[in-house]
Amino acid sequence: MKGSNHPYRAHLHELTRRLEACLEGSGFNGALIPAGRPPLVFRDDLHYPYRPNPWFCQWCPEAHPGSLIVVRPGNRPLLLFRQEDDYWHMPPIEPSGPWVSEWDIRVVRSTSEARSDIPAGRYLLLGEPDADWEGLAEANPTGITQCLEYLRASKTAYELSCLAEASLRAARGHLAAEHTWRGGGSEFDVHLAYCAAVGQRDDELPYRNIIGFDRHGAVLHYQHLERERPPHSRSFLIDAGASAAGYAADITRTWVADSGDFSALVRALDATQQRLADNVRPGQDFRTLHCTAHLEIGQLLAEAGLVRCGAEEAVDSGVTRTFFPHGLGHLLGLQVHDVAGTAAAGGGDIPRPEGHPFLRLTRTLEAGCVVTIEPGIYFIDMLLDEARADGRRRLIDWDRVGAMYPYGGVRIEDNVVALPEGPRNLTREAFLALEA
């Protein structure tokens, strides 16, 4: 890896700088960061899917079970690369990517070998404590963990390149998914086509695919995959991501078979979504943007004839929350709902606006923050029943709701970077690149 300004090298420098800043005055010399291991199923000899420790992925692009990172500011990072003698499984191959030149790497065969290779020092452990590292480090001390989590919101150039790659992979999957739905496939067929196009197994994706035809689009995190195709599918909502070196994409698209009123609503929401995404800039308070989204959705509901009042009354009466009951977006990075979305700079939390308990991001955006922008409009039985039972009843046009009800709902979700020069929409960029 030549040149001091290589993005991965600069990324490691930045992580080291952050660690130093957060350790200041703590007495710790460094951190142990385990990759983690897949847990065993109760009374079984099979494991749950392996989800590597996100802190490990932030430092090292290859996270194999049982490996350990040792970071001591002032020294090169040390990777204790676990390669067990095992004829049941294929041991991981020693890493050879360009990133290895930044590391000291030692192959270890056992926990005791790894433990004896850890230089003396006072360490904290970042990640899930397990028996392998017991007694060596203090696990996740609150103040230091909060300090590091807070800083994770702003991405380095290397992290942005991983997130852009994740969006590109997911966009390939979305195109294959739409094709399969239009071609008469079932939800399950769409899922298989998606995984094949992304090149990732179900458990390599950052979250379970949400693939809902028709009324299933009204279930925010619909979890089943129907094997049978309904005779006439009208609409299709897919919320599906992809991973790249531990970083996630989180993308939603909604497709409609006919060109009627629901299709017009999808187009209108798409335009609103892009307007909202244009506000992803340093200095933007995300709570304010979430409230703006409610006003915009109130306007859309009025224009679509779904409500019998103006946008402001739709917001003030709580009607917009009947149709749009989740947050506008969240931080995105190593985790889909990335950590510290409501964290205040000096510790503590920034409260959510009253009446919006599901908003996952209340911070003011900084340069390099990556967020999702995902407004939606849904016809959800439980919430419609609640509105029908109180003062919101007279504000809703129930015939119009009835006409769109079979389509389930619409959500449009992109991944957007806040940059001083303006927003960078990783998702639209990815779809455009695939069109070219």
| Min CB(306)–Mn ion separation in Å | 23
**Least spacing, CB of residue 233 vs Mn ion, in Å:** 21
Q: How far is CA 160 from CA 43, 133, 139, 286, 295, in A?
A: 42, 32, 29, 20, 31
Pick between residue 152 and residue 392 the one whose CB is nearest to ligand GLY. 152
Q: Is there a contact between 426 and 163 (Cβ–Cβ < 8 Å)? A: yes
DSSP 340: T
Could you tell me the smallest distance in angstroms from the CB atom of residue 239 to ligand GLY? 5
Cβ 209 to ligand GLY, closest distance in Å?
A: 9
Q: Which does 102 bind (CB under 5 to 8 A by kind): Mn ion, ligand GLY, none?
A: none
**Smaller CB separation from ligand GLY, 16 or 372:** 372
Structure tokens given for 362 = 């209340």
Stretch of residues binding Mn ion (CB under 5 A), selected from 51-59, 250-258, 354-362, 384-392:
250-258
Residue 250 touches Mn ion, criterion: CB under 5 A = yes
Cβ(49)–Cβ(143) under 8 Å?
no
Choose the one of Mn ion, ligand GLY, none that binds residue 414, judging by a C-beta under 5 to 8 angstroms depending on kind.
Answer: none
Say if residues 277 and 260 touch (Cβ distance below 8 Å). Answer: no
Candidate residues 58, 233, 273, 372; the one interacting with Mn ion per rule CB under 5 A: 372
For ligand GLY, the closer of residues 35 and 276 by Cβ is: 276
Q: How far is the CB of 221 from ligand GLY (least distance, A)?
A: 7
By CB under 5 A, residue 414 contacts Mn ion: no
Per rule CB under 5 A, count of chain residues that contact Mn ion? 5
In terms of CB distance, is 299 or 415 closer to ligand GLY? 415
CA distance 217 to 411: 9
**Least distance CB 166 / ligand GLY (angstroms):** 13
* C-alpha pair distances (Å), 165 with each of 161, 231, 307: 6, 36, 41
Q: Considering the complex, what minimum distance in angstroms separates the CB of residue 330 from Mn ion?
A: 6
Rounded to 5 degrees, φ, ψ at 317 are -80, -10
Dihedral sign (CA 361, 366, 370, 375): positive
CB atoms within 10 A of CB 85: 7
Q: What separation in angstroms does the CA of 436 have from each of 171, 246, 255, 356? A: 13, 27, 21, 40
Q: Which does 187 bind (CB under 5 to 8 A by kind): ligand GLY, Mn ion, none?
A: none
* 268-290: b (≥16 Cβ within 10 Å) or e: bbeebbbebbebbbeebebbebb
The sheet with strand 30-34 has its strands ordered as: 104-108, 78-82, 68-71, 30-34, 123-125, 137-139
Question: Which is nearer to ligand GLY, 102 or 239 (by Cβ)?
Answer: 239
When asked if residue 102 is in the footprint of Mn ion (CB under 5 A), the reply is no
Please report whether residue 239 would count as binding Mn ion according to CB under 5 A: yes
Binding partner of residue 207 among Mn ion, ligand GLY, none, CB cut-off 5 to 8 Å per kind: ligand GLY
* Residue 71 vs 328, nearer CB to ligand GLY: 328
Alpha helix (H) residue ranges in 183-323: 187-198, 261-277, 286-303, 311-316, 319-323
Question: Residue 200's binding partner, choosing from Mn ion, ligand GLY, none, with beta-carbon cut-off 5 to 8 A by kind?
Answer: none
Residue 58 sits in the site that holds Mn ion (CB under 5 A): no
Q: Closer CB to ligand GLY, residue 159 or residue 374?
A: 374
Cα dihedral 107, 110, 112, 116 in deg (nearest 10): 0
Cβ closest to ligand GLY, residue 189 vs residue 239 = 239
Q: Which stretch binds Mn ion (CB under 5 A): 108-116, 281-289, 308-316, 412-420?
A: 412-420
d(CA 169, CA 162): 11
Residue placing its CB nearer to ligand GLY in the complex, 296 or 413: 413
Task: Find the part of the chain contacting Mn ion (CB under 5 A) among 87-95, 100-108, 243-251, 308-316.
Answer: 243-251
Which residue ranges make up the site for ligand GLY (CB under 6 A)?
207, 239, 250, 336, 374, 413
Question: What's the CA gap between 225 and 205, in Å, rounded?
Answer: 16
Please say which residue, 203 or 258, places its beta carbon nearer to ligand GLY.
203
Residue 213: Cβ-neighbour burial (10 angstroms; 0-12, 13-18, 19+): buried
- The site for Mn ion (CB under 5 A) is made up of 239, 250, 252, 372, 413
